Structure 1
Amino acid sequence: MGLDYKKAGVDIDAGNQAVELIKKDVQSTFGPEVMTGLGGFGGLFKPDLSKYKNPVLVSGTDGVGTKLKLAFKLDLHNTIGIDLVAMSVNDILAQGAEPLFFLDYLATGKLEPEKTAEIVKGIAAGCKEAGAALIGGETAEMAGFYQPGEYDLAGFAVGIVDQDQIITGENIKAGDLVIGLKSEGLHSNGFTLARAALFDKAGFDYTAEIEDLEKNLGEELLRPTKIYVKTVMALLEKFKLKGIAHITGGGLIENLPRILPDGLKAEIKKDSWQPQNIFELIQEAGEIAKEEMYRTFNMGIGMCLVINKDDKTQILKELELMGEKACLIGKIKAGAGDTSLEIK
């Protein structure tokens, strides 16, 4: 018998089955701007530009990283897609952009239609939370390239903002305040260190029940990245936010200074919020230095807003009304030399 594509390791029929299984979830993200269905060579999106004077497109791309290892170990795949969407839409949100649409890329060694459907269900859920249409994607079956049962995810988002409303941080000045929006745990950063501390060094089981955690260890680590789009876009309708920093890889130490003009630094009061218990567990398990924790993890703060001090009370009240967990975590000060961050 001669070879065919299926015998070589690529099952086209499984791919077609996966498309059928994901169709309903993908279409649930569509609004009137989407002009194509599944199966086209490109996704067509016709944005309503009537509310913009000088529209600018803003794009961002990311993956999920080694958090995927947890999904493989626990065989839980229905939330990891939320992480994928969140990492990109939160990035473009930092410049004041409202997400329009999202595209994903899923690669695996052997396509499993039901697992693919679970992954895409999470991507669709993330898109709906962000108000973005899932207008396209790619599923690649790459025999022999990935370990059995494993896959990789990547994606990108495109958003829109009026040119005079782009948030750059250039107007931040000494005396401005920093509000922190709480995270849902680790989000999607620092998992290489977290796994090394918890599983390699401390020897925890992935399903260990630990007293101070609401879920078993693996499920706690798999909490999806919080999507801040609705909260921040609602604030932007009422207030002028001077700067927004998405706290991802590099933690507070690396990310908040990225939006500060030269000659300024942020002073953060670490006692102004309580990081989730998972961070203390990781630190103790790995005997990790405090500075390394703040450089690697978000430590309970997923996004920072730099605001005028006169808006503090109103913004915090508005966040409370929206059910957002937020607190005043620091202030902007004059600082010689490069922009920096000081945690006290």
Structure 2
Amino acid sequence: MTKSLTYAEAGVDIDKANRLVDKIKDIAKGTPRQGVMGEIGGFGGLFSLNVDGYEKPVLVSSTDGVGTKLKIAFMTNIHDTIGIDLVAMCVNDIAVQGAKPLFFLDYVSMGVLDESVVPDIVKGIGEGCKLANCALIGGETAEMPGLYNPGEYDLAGFSVGLVDNSRIIDGAEIRMGDVLIGIASSGLHSNGFSLVRKICFDIMKLTVDTPVPELEQTIGEVLLTPTRIYSETIQMLIRDLPIRGLAHITGGGITENIVRIIPQACDVAIRRGSWERPPVFHFLQSGGNVSETEMLRTFNNGIGMIAVVPEDRAGDVLDRLHALGERAWAIGEIIARKGVSPQVKWVD
């Protein structure tokens, strides 16, 4: 070889990466900044921890991705909402323990950095951080030639929150007779998309641009509806109402997630038809001939978060949720354990 080979010729363009970092800095500055020290671009993100008002502060952390919902973003070439999903999947998981999210970091990786796509992705992440009232303080944008198909990428997110030890919500105070309050989802959120794609694109032979009259959108628009972020709603609830347990309804649906927080002596009874199930779930169930059991253990079916509350305060919790603009319903109760392991009993 007579010519000097460059990193860019091998597929990694450092100058392009630096330009993208400059764009990301501007997005990060638009997220809540209290506690943030410095700006994106250093080796680590700095955050000054204010623990005034906390007797025994505890940090709560979570990491997650978006799963194969990313495939819908690739198919539609719409990338400015998937970042909301990324933030939601992380901050909702720490919110159920009573933690207030403080900051968020992201990881974006693709074969060839696309200067039109990456800012859209991070724009969504910034919007998610605003909704969660936390700061975007850092992340990584990686160019990995040969690892991804053209036009594809992967995302991961990392959130850290703060809660006082005495106010951690872990389900330990849940008692028989407590009421389950279901808080509405915005649709599919970010779970079950391998089954969704099989139903929509393999079985029903739809394209992302196919209009679905009963859903009043194209199927691509329906599937890309961002995951709800419940952080602020939960903080408003736990401030002065007795919340004994919270469950984020993600992969595994209501069936698998609610049992993660109930005590050993308890089971859960949930009333079918006690909440409004968005039309997308009926559409998918019919299109794929999916059993009700499979629907309930795969999708959220319209309930994105469940709060367990004392029976005599259920009305107050519902009133507060409705005042906050949430759709919510009393969907079940905590009952005595009958079997060896916790389970959900579906009742009419």
Which interval holds the TM-score relative to the shorter structure? over 0.9
Secondary structure of 1:299's counterpart equals coil
**How many angstroms does 1:2 deviate by?**
3.0
Aligned twin of 2:54: 52
Secondary structure of 2:46's counterpart equals coil
Aligned twin of 2:295: 293
The one of 281, 284, 291 equivalent to 1:279 is: 281
**Residue 331 (structure 2) pairs with residue 339 (structure 1):** no
* Within-5 A mapping of 1:55-134: 55-134=57-136
* 105-114 or 334-343, larger mean C-alpha shift: 334-343
1:132-173: CA deviation from partner (whole Å, max 9, x where unpaired): 111110000000000000000001100010001000101111
Aligned twin of 1:39: 41
**How many angstroms does 1:297 deviate by?**
0.3
TM-score between the two structures when normalised by the length of structure 1: 0.99
Aligned twin of 2:237: 235
The one of 315, 322, 325 equivalent to 1:323 is: 325
Query: Could you tell me which amino acid in structure 1 is paired with residue 344 of structure 2?
Result: L
* 212-221 or 49-58, larger mean C-alpha shift: 212-221
* Within-5 A mapping of 1:152-163: 152-163=154-165
Distance in 1 between residues matched to 2:93 and 2:346, nearest whole Å: 23
* Within-5 A mapping of 1:298-309: 298-309=300-311
1:67-111: CA deviation from partner (whole Å, max 9, x where unpaired): 000000000000000000000100001111000101100000000
Ranges in structure 2 where 5+ consecutive residues have no aligned partner: none
Ranges in structure 1 where 5+ consecutive residues have no aligned partner: none
Distance in 1 between residues matched to 2:216 and 2:59, nearest whole Å: 40
Q: Over aligned residue pairs, what C-alpha RMSD do you find?
A: 0.8
Distance in 1 between residues matched to 2:102 and 2:115, nearest whole Å: 27
**Residue 9 (structure 2) pairs with residue 7 (structure 1):** yes
**How many angstroms does 1:32 deviate by?**
2.9
**How many angstroms does 1:176 deviate by?**
0.2
Query: Could you tell me which amino acid in structure 2 is paired with residue 208 of structure 1?
Result: T
CA contact (8 A) 2:32 2:133 kept: no
**How many angstroms does 1:206 deviate by?**
1.2
Q: Which 4+ runs in 1 deviate beyond 6 A? A: none
The one of 187, 198, 212 equivalent to 1:196 is: 198
Secondary structure of 1:296's counterpart equals coil
Counting aligned pairs with the same residue, the percent is 50
* Within-5 A mapping of 1:237-276: 237-276=239-278
CA contact (8 A) 1:10 1:110 kept: yes
Query: Could you tell me which amino acid in structure 1 is paired with residue 346 of structure 2?
Result: I
Distance in 1 between residues matched to 2:225 and 2:336, nearest whole Å: 37
Distance in 2 between residues matched to 1:47 and 1:180, nearest whole Å: 33
